[in-house]
Amino acid sequence: MSLQQSPTPISPDQIEISKRKRGMRYFLKKCKEQKTLIYMSMPFVIWLIIFRYVPLAGWTMAFQDFKPARPLTDQAWVGFDQFIFLFSDARFMEVLRNTIAMSLINLVLGFVTAISLAILLNELQNLTFKRVVQTISYMPHFLSWVVAAGLVSAVLSMESGIVNIILTNLGIIREPIMWLGVGEYFWGIIGASDVWKNVGWNTIIYLAAITMIDTEQYEAAEIDGASRLQRIRYITIPGMKPVIIILLIMNLGYILESGFEAQYLLMNPMNMDYAENLDIFVLRYGISMGNFSLATAAGIFKTVVSFIFLFSANSLAKKMGEARLF
């Protein structure tokens, strides 16, 4: 009688190698199926590498006393001196405060206004009026900040500004206010200006998210007697939630990107203590003064903080079981 041979045991390493081979075959199969899309994306990948990743070699300037006239091999290495100077400088701390404050204001106002406008536009029954509102709200986005800043300055003017005229006629203020001359008002002015300029454009993706919601849910809710507000609360907003979370994660990665053009154009000596942000600081005290090492150190700081916020927000969303980037 022949003895039945027992199967050869498979080691964990062999199982892992087999999984990798299957994964690679699946990857190559998908690449072959979607080769047209890959070819179309190659120019953008090349652009990204050339203009985003190759310049990272210049980060070495942050650890040098960089002088443009010297050869690269003769630059003096100073370690973390530029970073120590940044974090020990009182002006940099004020600039960092301004940057974070304006960024958070823009973030909160941008999300609230864009989501609210998208919901309101979705509820409009008159398509002609809806298109007119969308067109009017989109138009400021296509204005350059040079023109937009001029309009904001005219609206807030003491002599002929519409804001002072309305507030004076309503009795809210007794005399015109020099809005751009009071530093405490600057953050609010930047937030309102950013909303006016970008709220229409920001609603596009939320409107697209709303169109993906199954209309049968609205029909069933209406049959059950749900009011319009209840349909918005229990169907529209939950349906938009994955998109809102994804955009929130992405925007948290730009927490130190409060803008440049608006602050630079609306800034003056009277509001400078509240208007100067990190980008303007780099321009004034780094690039304009020839201190490229300081400018590079500030740029590295922005990048590191952005990565921390991005990955932290994504990890938090993953733990909470919400939509995430990766």
Nearest by Cα to 133 from 150, 120, 146: 120
Specify the pLDDT at position 6: 54
Residue carrying structure tokens 């993706």: 205
Torsion of CA 95, 101, 103, 109, to 10 degrees: -160
pTM of the model: 0.84
| Residue 43 in tokens | 């120019």
What is the per-residue pLDDT across 251-305, written as a single tens digit (0 to 9) for each? Answer: 988 888 888 999 999 999 999 999 999 999 999 988 888 889 999 999 899 989 9
As annotated, the residues of the chain forming the CATH 1.10.3720.10 domain(s) are 80-319
- Distance, in Å, from the CA atom of 17 to the CA atom of 196, rounded to the nearest integer, reads 56
* For the chain, counts of helices (H) and of strands (E): 15, 2
Considering the domain delimited by 80-319, tell me its CATH architecture. Answer: Orthogonal Bundle (1.10)
What is the per-residue pLDDT across 52-91, written as a single tens digit (0 to 9) for each? Answer: 889 888 888 999 888 887 877 788 899 899 999 999 989 9
Looking at per-residue pLDDT, the higher value among 133 and 23 belongs to: 133
What is the per-residue pLDDT across 91-112, written as a single tens digit (0 to 9) for each? Answer: 999 999 999 999 999 999 999 9
- Distance, in Å, from the CA atom of 123 to the CA atom of 102, rounded to the nearest integer, reads 31
| Residue 309 in tokens | 């916020």
Specify the pLDDT at position 319: 87
> Is residue 203 a contact partner of residue 114, using CB atoms and an 8 Å limit?
yes
Specify the pLDDT at position 7: 59
Specify the pLDDT at position 235: 93
CB-count burial class (<10 Å; 0-12, 13-18, 19+) for 212: exposed
